[in-house]
Amino acid sequence: MCKACFNDDKIHTSTTFTVEYNGCIIVVRNVPCLECPICGETTFSDSVSAQLEKIVNSVKSVMQESILQEVSVIDYSKVA
């Protein structure tokens, strides 16, 4: 059930997840999600959330080592 509009239906699709970290942008594309067809709210399964956390943490460590990198774009379907 959608937590925003209480619609009972959700569709399986993919989305882009973005986070800002120390002035840098981390973009993860093609992330599997459930989306409400009425309001567009997206939710992630527990396993996708855990994988996103691993991806973001690994990118954070790389970005800390590189003072020149301000944006990182990752394709979820290629690393998950």
Q: What pLDDT does residue 66 have? A: 64
What mean pLDDT comes out for the span 16-26? Answer: 91
- Concatenate the DSSP letters of all residues of 29-41 into one string: EEEEEEE-TTT--
Q: Token pair for residue 9?
A: 């239906």
50/3: higher pLDDT: 50
Q: What pLDDT does residue 36 have? A: 94
Domain boundaries, the chain: 11-79
- Report whether 72 contacts 63 (CB < 8 A): yes
Q: What pLDDT does residue 4 have? A: 87
For 31-80, what is each residue's pLDDT tens digit? 999 999 999 999 999 999 999 999 999 988 887 766 667 889 999 999 87
Q: What pLDDT does residue 33 have? A: 97
Please state which of the four CATH numbers 1.20.1630, 3.10.20, 3.40.50, 1.10.3470 is assigned to the domain occupying 11-79: 3.10.20
